[in-house]
Amino acid sequence: MSTSIRYSVILGNLGNTNDRFLSTGYKVQPPKEEMIMAAATIEGVSGIELVGSWDITPENSSRMKEILAQNGLTCVSIIPDLFSQKRWANGSFAAKDSSVRKQAIEAAVEAAQIALEMGCPLLNIWPGQDGYDYSLQSDFRQERRWFTDGVKEVASQFPMIKFALEYKPKEPRTHSFLARAADTLLVAEDTGLDNVGVCIDVGHALYAYENVSESIVILQERGNKLFHMHFNDNYRYWDDDMIVGSVHLVEYIEMLYWLRETGYTGWYSMDQYPYREDGAGAINASVQFLRSLEQFMCEETIVQIRGLIRRGDPIEASHWLREKILPSPMGTSD
């Protein structure tokens, strides 16, 4: 197994996650320290992502840094909360209200300052409210410019930190400005800054009907602009945030192949919403699935996949997959 792969988890995945039908969630919310300790018990996990204002603030950052160190965990990224507060109802960086845009910049700057204190190398920006719901509602030209300018203003102040823009086709808005890999890449490139790139959330890409492997290659071919990865699974029509590999086994094999082939060196971070199942158990299942796939992806397998791709025969690929992961059918001479 490759020893260079680093696994992390968004801290909130280990707590009480709420859906829109039961705002209190289905479980008891444990203390932050208990969640961090749970993360540390998951074999292979050495990193944590923290959400600004939810998990970490200027007031508790020193204590959080101490708790992470005590549990042998690294702060992998900080996610500014630009999505869950009433003030972001009509957008953050792209809001029509200039005072709200200013507040979004201030919130991101605060998160970046905390990242510096924590020794955290990355801000992961998911602008969930930046988009629109109806026709004749959005000035696409102006609002997309506002968004790009806001990111640029923050990222230019912190050249030592990477800024990963996470895309999602919809929810909570019916249309998100950062909806797909390619248009998010355009925003990153339009900032003109080397420290602005893209985060692929596998579930978001799946229900944007992307081939995640192709998106990986597109971003990496444009100057290694894939800065971060969030892993989960779904049935493609919604962001279900399920256990990794519970639906898309074959796609995950291809995905890990291309992450290796394109030289991705970022974290493999778990982003799930285990509403009813045990959070640590669900995250552990995801991490161990990916670790097993990494072991599966030995040099012999890599060479075989390269050959399959070069020849492009789907029948040959189907037989190869079957022989690799399933026992031979009874009565066959394979």
pLDDT band at 331 (very low <50, low <70, confident <90, very high): low
Q: How confident is the model at residue 19 (pLDDT cuts 50, 70, 90)?
A: confident
pLDDT at residue 1, rounded to an integer: 39
Percent above pLDDT 90 for the chain: 92
Rounded to whole angstroms, the Cα distance separating 268 from 231 reads 7
What pLDDT score was predicted for residue 192? 98
Closest alpha carbon to 231 in 249, 220, 245 = 245
pLDDT at 8: 98
Model confidence at 2, pLDDT cuts 50, 70, 90, reads very low
Q: Which CATH architecture has domain 7-297?
A: Alpha-Beta Barrel (3.20)
Give the mean model confidence (pLDDT) for residues 248-268: 98
d(CA 248, CA 62): 40
pLDDT at 3: 52
pLDDT at 21: 83
Question: What average pLDDT does the chain have?
Answer: 95
Distance separating alpha carbons of residues 103 and 82, to the nearest angstrom: 10
What is the pLDDT averaged over residues 164-184?
98
Identify the CA nearest to 212 among candidates 232, 187, 241, 196: 232
Quote the CA–CA distance of 57 and 49 in Å, as a whole number. Answer: 13
Over residues 284-308, the mean pLDDT reads 97
Percent of the chain at pLDDT > 70 equals 98
Q: How confident is the model at residue 329 (pLDDT cuts 50, 70, 90)?
A: confident
Interval 199-229: pLDDT, tens: 999 999 999 999 999 999 999 999 999 999 9
Return the pLDDT at 20.
Answer: 75
The 8-class DSSP code of residue 222 comes to T
| Stretch(es) of the chain classified as CATH 3.20.20.150 | 7-297
What tens digit of pLDDT does each residue of 74-119 get? 999 999 999 999 999 999 999 999 999 999 999 999 999 999 999 9
